[in-house]
A and B are shown apart, each in its own frame.
Chain A
């Protein structure tokens, strides 16, 4: 028998950096069975991914800092980036949290019930990753790594997570402890009669 039996969802465990969270076992009732009878070990399709090819698209940054590029930045320079490239869609300190802008309010002193970087984001690395990946919305991927460090520092300083003079780079960014970090818990819904 050459069947590959795939067990039910195995333990989902995630661990990162200083912090270890064990995700509860999440089972599904359906044990699927991919019928691989008569399959070769490999089909031999696809071509080897070159290191350069991977590097060109591997832009993700992990909570432990994996993927952060060389370079560094401070809030002051970041303010210039923000004022030139972000403010039109994201507002200033005096913009109320419920203002109608193209993008969510990012640096408001008066966020109201809005989720913000300071009160909601669990990892600072996410900010670097997301801004480099997707912002500015109308010109994604046009900031230099240096500018991304700078504007990340500006946003974190505006959220009072770091100080104005702090330098962000591949070493310091993963060490920032975000205020909301401990609030995040794994999904505890699991089917059955209980509403969660």
Chain B
């Protein structure tokens, strides 16, 4: 080696003489990556390069990091939830398709996220049953399983009144997952639910000991006890290690961290179905046990604070209904004067977020774009005005599903149209 006097850049680097572990090669605080270089002697050598060099580097010339134990999100992508004291909202505008990544699933809980050891976990079913039973997590997993994709939505999922609201703020308390678990009907069979039982209490083991009364009919119909979400164990924020899921019903009824089901012949009138999750309607009445989430849609592109350019674009969004499948989504680009049928992404699933698209050429000038969902019962997503007419001006904040309008302004900026 010493006979060669002409020192090239490559030669300054120590050739790899003996096997060195990747960890060592990749180590070092200033090292951003390792490149393979060919020395003037024809040997392949590795060179650590700095962050600064990497920035301007051609990725085809840089050996990437090795396979790892856990995947990562690109450092250029930073979708985040928007937390408040009591909830955290899904960034609907940053998502594609209809599955919510588990770490972006919305959260709403009443006393924080409990830590539950799966070895200690159990679900007790008692009350009006032939055989009161306690199931461990392993027991639940031994039963015939089901996997189903559907949305969850908090019934308090509406914010309005401002131009500077993103889809996340307006209705980010909805998310969708593929859930795996055991049908509640299977456990009803196992415990022998008595014909007289018409309601059951679902109770969680969080610090709120969350409790809701649910009609037994929903249990036989399509309720499930889920232990997995998008292919992995359910996340703590979504109810680890097991939760109740009532497809299409207000999120609060899908009790997380489920510890107990008590069968009865009357509802229990818990705080969450009396003081909360009830809504004032006309004539001083208060609507109770309003379980089902009505059909709704939102355009997620374009939306605030995005900027659009003249020309063709695909107006995109999601639509969903707690009563079944989305039948149709209509899009208006002229403030509701005329409506056009959007394309729905197949397969359209029951009680599931459904992606819609509508091709539109923006020629400049102001435009008001909006979408409305129509479900298979023939329900048409209403305007806020229609909701107020139907429920009275004192209607509460639950079950509000009004049409959302976006104003595309002359300069291409997009704002929410407060209603």
Contact = CB atoms under 8 A, between A and B. Distances in A.
Interface string B222-243: 1000000000000000000000
A178 B281 CA distance: 19
Given A4-B189, A42-B189, A45-B143, A191 B267 contact: no
Nearest to A34: B185
B269 A122 contact: yes
A121 B275 contact: yes
Given A9-B221, A63-B269, A30 B134 contact: no
B270 A126 contact: yes
B274 A121 contact: yes
Given A62-B268, A193-B379, A49 B217 contact: no
A45 B199 contact: no
Interface in A37-64: 39, 42-43, 45-49, 53-54, 57-64
Nearest to B110: A134
A185 B285 contact: yes
A13 interface: yes
Contact of B264 (A46, A62, A180, A187): A62
Interface residues of B, number: 76
A14 B201 CA distance: 13
A130 B270 contact: yes
A54 B124 contact: yes
Interface in B375-419: 375-380, 382, 386-387, 389-391, 399
A54 B77 CA distance: 48
Interface string A126-149: 100110011001001100000000
Interface string B196-225: 001101010001110100010110111000
Given A34-B186, A45-B190, A185-B288, A58 B387 contact: no
A13 B131 CA distance: 24
Contacts of A108: none
Contacts of A47: 133-134
B256 to A, nearest CB: 15
B355 interface: no
B208 A134 contact: yes
A183 B190 contact: no
B289 interface: yes
Interface residues of A, number: 62
Interface stretch (B29-37, B93-101, B290-298): B290-298
Nearest to A188: B287
Interface centre among A6, A30, A42 (most CB of B within 10 A): A30
B203 A192 contact: no
Nearest to B401: A195
Contacts of A115: 275
A164 interface: no
A43 B190 contact: yes
A49 B135 CA distance: 9
A29 B208 CA distance: 35
Contacts of A57: 124, 203, 259-260
Contacts of B207: 134, 140
B75 interface: no
B288 A187 contact: yes
Contacts of A34: 183, 185-186
Given A183-B286, A193-B378, A195-B386, A58 B126 contact: yes
Interface in A164-196: 180, 183-189, 191-193, 195-196
Nearest to A61: B268
B133 A49 contact: yes
A62 B185 contact: no
Given A185-B287, A193-B380, A43 B142 contact: yes
Contacts of B9: none
A32 B222 contact: yes
Contacts of A150: none
Contacts of A28: 221, 323-324
B266 interface: yes
A12 B215 contact: yes
Nearest to B125: A49
Nearest to A45: B139
Contacts of B387: 195
A142 B391 CA distance: 41
Nearest to A116: B275
Contacts of B390: 195-196
A140 B266 contact: no
A191 B289 contact: no
Interface in A144-163: none
Interface of A: 4, 6, 8-10, 12-16, 23, 28-30, 32, 34, 36, 39, 42-43, 45-49, 53-54, 57-64, 115, 120-123, 125-126, 129-130, 133-134, 137, 140-141, 180, 183-189, 191-193, 195-196
22 contacts: A6-B185, A12-B289, A15-B266, A28-B221, A34-B186, A39-B144, A47-B133, A62-B264, A64-B266, A123-B269, A123-B274, A126-B269, A130-B271, A184-B288, A185-B286, A186-B289, A189-B399, A191-B292, A191-B294, A191-B324, A191-B379, A196-B391
Which 7 interchain pairs have the tightest Cβ spacing? A191-B377, A46-B133, A49-B132, A130-B271, A187-B290, A46-B135, A9-B217
